[in-house]
């Protein structure tokens, strides 16, 4: 752990949302640099109403407070649907380590015309569904603006990434890290969430004020990504790493069982953005050159995601 040295950048998104081209370009360039150096940045003034976030966290707390039997009625079933409740230790983000000390609930936009809805909503809690559906829309909007900035940063048409994400194959994930019992000592390598990289293009991460998120620097040290009120953490995932021919990094991160926060509940909400399953992922032209050959063959976003989920859940 390092307490000195450079820190994860904080970028003010306000000028991108309301500014002229010059302002927008400046913000996009900051995002490009942060994604290259860190694969992580805090975004301030992202345009999301504080109220929407407060409500989402409240609804999340209420959901996780339900009896386990009730949560299990909406249990996660398979990687293809990837929705519903995932119990404590069911998942290991770092396959070499014990199961993660967390529980989660995944939801996602319903595909229009796909028949039976796939989200697994708990019965008798219409408020939960309403708040989360609203929050999901907010996340999609914010992510689309971030993707526009990325397109500008990479000299692509403004809608380059937004179009590739327009089927909204995203996942919203509520996370709860329960307090650990008095005297708890983590088994070797046990943590709230094991070290991992995210699979998709970008992730928006909202954390409460407990802390515990750690990001691995390029020098290999673990740095705390402390909660900064009024900001959302944005990180670039494996797919963006591949798409940008490794220019944007997909940085390992984890949630550590730090002694000072071990006995506190921690809540976070992650919005994982995934391009359309049929989107062709070919190294972006501005990231490829005479001295920078494309490092990956084309794939589709769907193929990429399925491989990653299978590795995590073993299904
Ligand atoms: O809870 C957090 O702060 C991080 C969670 C995370 O990185 C993930 O679920 O991919
Ligand atoms: Fe993550």
Calculate what percentage of the chain has a pLDDT beyond 90.
77
Q: Which runs of E-coded beta strand occur in 116-265?
A: 171-177, 193-196, 202-207, 213-216, 222-224, 231-236, 253-255
- Other Cβ atoms less than 10 A from the Cβ of 202: the count is 24
Using CB atoms within 10 A of its CB, is residue 15 exposed (0-12), middle (13-18) or buried (19+)? middle
Q: Judge contact between 171 and 108, C-beta under 8 A.
A: yes
Q: How far is the CA of 21 from the centre of ligand 2 (A)?
A: 32
Q: How confident is the model at residue 3 (pLDDT cuts 50, 70, 90)?
A: very low
Q: How confident is the model at residue 312 (pLDDT cuts 50, 70, 90)?
A: low
Structurally, the chain folds into a number of domains equal to 1
Between 314 and 236, the more confident residue is 236
Amino acid 5: pLDDT? 60
Q: Judge contact between 156 and 286, C-beta under 8 A.
A: yes
Q: Is 100 in the pocket of ligand 1 (CB under 6 A)?
A: no
Q: Is 253 in the pocket of ligand 1 (CB under 6 A)?
A: yes
Between 313 and 122, the more confident residue is 122
Say what the pTM is: 0.94
Runs of H (alpha helix) within 154-261: 160-164, 238-243
Q: Is 175 in the pocket of ligand 1 (CB under 6 A)?
A: yes
Supply the CATH number for residue 236's domain: 2.60.120.330
Q: How confident is the model at residue 1 (pLDDT cuts 50, 70, 90)?
A: very low
Residues 6+ apart with CB under 8 A from 234: 31, 40, 41, 42, 43, 146, 202, 203, 204, 205
- Helix and strand numbers (H, E) in the chain are 8, 14
Q: Is 268 in the pocket of ligand 1 (CB under 6 A)?
A: yes
**Nearest CA owner, ligand 1 atom 9:** 270
Distance (Å, whole) CA 203 – CA 40? 9
Ligand nearest to the CA of 227: 1
Distance (Å, whole) CA 17 – CA 46? 8
Q: Is 174 in the pocket of ligand 1 (CB under 6 A)?
A: no
Amino acid 186: pLDDT? 77
Residues 52-107: tens digit of each pLDDT: 999 999 999 999 999 999 999 999 998 888 899 999 877 667 777 767 789 999 99
Among 205, 224, 237, 238, say which to mutate for ligand 1: greatest number of ligand atoms within 8 Å of CB: 205
Q: Is 204 in the pocket of ligand 1 (CB under 6 A)?
A: no
**Residue 143, token pair as written in the block:** 């992510």
Q: Is 191 in the pocket of ligand 1 (CB under 6 A)?
A: no
Distance (Å, whole) CA 237 – CA 243? 10
Using CB atoms within 10 A of its CB, is residue 67 exposed (0-12), middle (13-18) or buried (19+)? exposed
What residue numbers bound the domain in which 188 lies?
Answer: 2-313
Residues 6+ apart with CB under 8 A from 23: 15, 16
Residues composing the chain: 315
Q: How confident is the model at residue 2 (pLDDT cuts 50, 70, 90)?
A: very low
Q: What is the mean pLDDT of the chain?
A: 92
Nearest to 75 by CA among 64, 87, 66: 87
Instruction: Identify the residue whose tokens are 């009625």.
Output: 73
Amino acid 56: pLDDT? 98
Amino acid 310: pLDDT? 72
Residues 6+ apart with CB under 8 A from 232: 42, 43, 46, 48, 142, 204, 205, 206
Residues 144-153: tens digit of each pLDDT: 999 999 999 9
Residues 181-240: tens digit of each pLDDT: 777 777 777 778 889 999 999 999 999 999 999 999 988 999 999 999 999 999 999 999
Amino acid 277: pLDDT? 93
Residues 6+ apart with CB under 8 A from 117: 110
Residues 282-297: tens digit of each pLDDT: 999 999 999 999 999 9
Amino acid 111: pLDDT? 87
Q: How confident is the model at residue 313 (pLDDT cuts 50, 70, 90)?
A: low
**Nearest CA owner, ligand 1 atom 1:** 268
């Amino acid at each position: 752990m390092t307490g000195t040295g450079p820190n994860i950048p904080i970028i003010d998104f306000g000028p991108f949302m309301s500014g002229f081209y010059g302002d927008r370009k400046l913000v996009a360039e900051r995002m490009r640099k942060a994604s290259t150096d860190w694969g992580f940045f805090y975004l301030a003034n992202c345009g999301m109403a504080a109220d929407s976030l407060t409500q989402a966290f409240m609804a999340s707390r209420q959901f996780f407070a339900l009896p386990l039997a009730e949560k299990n009625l909406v249990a996660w079933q398979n990687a293809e649907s990837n929705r519903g409740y995932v119990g404590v230790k069911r998942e290991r983000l770092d396959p070499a380590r014990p199961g993660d000390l967390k529980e989660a609930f995944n939801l996602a936009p319903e595909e229009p015309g796909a028949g039976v809805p796939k989200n697994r909503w708990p019965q008798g809690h219409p408020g939960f569904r309403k708040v989360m559906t609203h929050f999901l829309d907010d996340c999609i909007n914010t992510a689309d603006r971030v993707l526009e900035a990325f397109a500008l940063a990479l000299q692509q048409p403004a809608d380059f990434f937004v179009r590739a994400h327009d089927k909204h194959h995203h996942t919203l994930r509520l996370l709860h890290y329960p307090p650990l019992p008095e005297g708890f000592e983590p088994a070797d390598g046990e943590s709230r969430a094991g070290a991992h990289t995210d699979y998709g293009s970008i992730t928006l991460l909202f954390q409460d004020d407990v802390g515990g998120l750690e990001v691995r620097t390029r020098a290999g040290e673990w740095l705390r990504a402390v909660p900064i009120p009024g900001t959302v953490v944005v990180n670039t995932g494996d797919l963006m790493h591949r798409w940008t021919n490794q220019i944007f990094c997909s940085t390992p991160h984890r949630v550590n069982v730090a002694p000072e926060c071990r006995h506190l509940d921690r809540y976070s909400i992650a919005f994982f953005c995934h391009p359309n399953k049929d989107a062709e992922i070919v190294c972006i032209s501005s990231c490829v050159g005479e001295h920078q050959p494309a490092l990956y063959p084309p794939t589709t976003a769907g193929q990429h995601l399925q491989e990653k989920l299978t590795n995590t859940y073993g299904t």
